[in-house]
């Protein structure tokens, strides 16, 4: 029945890929999105059970390594792989660029939600520090926000000031870590990593 089908569609969220001023391709709101609205599935605890350990890194070719580094969420132990290890399975939300003042975050289930009202045509961005905990991850930021941190790292989530202002939008597993002491191993600039 058409009516059953219609009732399963998200009524408000419509997003699309477009050219971003931040970096390459980004995701844009086709219609305005209200604060609090779920935008897409994110990462649940179950997804972290499938972590690929960094020890397997050398088994991927350089191009795939670069893609993993750019798109898949890392932890100190490994990265969360795509379903069935299919690296072509990148749904639209995985093209969200980073902003140090992003308009998207995570809810308690780990889904992507709007953290403020988003206007039609606005780019959707989230702070990668809300999700990324690989201590070796680091990249220069081009978000253009007045709050820009200039360098984004996989250690940002541990910073007390970061946690204080953003804890309610962090991935649930990162909210639970009580000790905010920075890791003794510093982040390695991404250009120093061999792809
Ligand atoms: C998940 S992809 C986002 C889609 C990407 N822009 C593209 O064209 O495929 C993440 C990559 O985009 C780039 N990127 C995202 N946000 C950025 C930012 N604020 N500053 C600089 N580069 C960014 C980085 O290369 C990062 O590894
Ligand atoms: Zn920034």
80 alpha carbon to ligand 2 midpoint, in Å?
24
H-helix or E-strand containing 28? strand 25-29
| 118 alpha carbon – ligand 1 mean position (Å) | 20
How far is ligand 1, taken at its centre, from the CA of residue 69, in Å?
10
Q: How many angstroms separate the CA atoms of 145 and 135, rounded?
A: 24
Split at pLDDT 50, 70, 90, the class of 66 is very high
Q: Look at residue 182 and tell me whether its pLDDT is greater than 50.
A: no
- The mean-pLDDT minimum among 2-6, 105-109, 186-190 falls in 186-190
Residue nearest to atom 27 of ligand 1 (CA): 70
State the closest ligand 1 atom to the C-alpha of 142, by its place in the atom list counted from 1: 20
Residue 192 has pLDDT above 60, yes or no: no
Q: In angstroms, rounded to a whole number, what is the distance separating the alpha carbons of residues 188 and 140?
A: 12
Indicate if ligand 1 lies below 6 Å from the C-beta of 85: no
Q: Where are the domains of the chain?
A: 2-192
pLDDT at 1 over 60: no
Higher pLDDT, 3 or 149: 149
pLDDT digits over 131-151, tens only?
999 999 999 999 999 999 999
Distance, CA of 189 to CA of 167 (rounded, Å): 25
C-beta 95 within 6 A of ligand 1: yes
> Which residues 6+ apart lie within 8 Å of 95 measured at CB?
17, 25, 26, 27
Beta-carbon neighbours within 5 Å of ion ligand 2 = 100, 141, 143, 148
Angle subtended at Cα 70 by Cα 104 and Cα 107, rounded to the nearest 5 degrees: 25
In CATH, the architecture of 2-192 is: Beta Complex (2.170)
Confidence at residue 83, expressed as pLDDT on a 0 to 100 scale: 86
Mean predicted confidence (pLDDT) in 11-20: 91
Say which ligand is closest to the CA of 147: 2
Confidence of residue 178 (pLDDT cuts 50, 70, 90): low
Q: Does 193 score more than 70 pLDDT? A: no
Q: How far is the CA of 123 from the centre of ligand 1 (A)?
A: 13
């Amino acid at each position: 029945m058409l009516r059953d089908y219609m009732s399963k569609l998200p009524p408000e969220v419509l997003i699309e890929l477009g050219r971003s001023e931040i970096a390459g391709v980004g995701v844009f709101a086709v219609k305005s999105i209200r604060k609090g609205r779920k935008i897409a599935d994110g990462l649940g605890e179950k997804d972290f059970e499938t972590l690929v350990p960094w020890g397997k890194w050398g088994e991927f070719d350089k191009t795939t390594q670069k893609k993993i580094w750019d798109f898949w969420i890392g932890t100190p132990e490994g990265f969360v792989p795509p379903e069935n290890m299919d690296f072509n399975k990148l749904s639209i939300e995985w093209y969200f660029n980073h902003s140090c003042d992003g308009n998207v975050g995570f809810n308690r289930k780990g889904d992507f939600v709007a953290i403020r009202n988003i206007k039609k045509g606005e780019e959707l961005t989230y702070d990668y520090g809300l999700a990324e905990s690989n201590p070796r991850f680091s990249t220069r930021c081009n978000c253009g926000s007045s709050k820009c941190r200039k360098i984004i790292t996989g250690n940002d989530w541990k910073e007390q000031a970061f946690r204080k202002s953003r804890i309610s939008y962090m991935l649930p597993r990162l909210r639970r870590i009580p000790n905010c002491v920075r890791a003794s191993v510093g982040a390695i600039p991404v250009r120093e990593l061999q792809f």
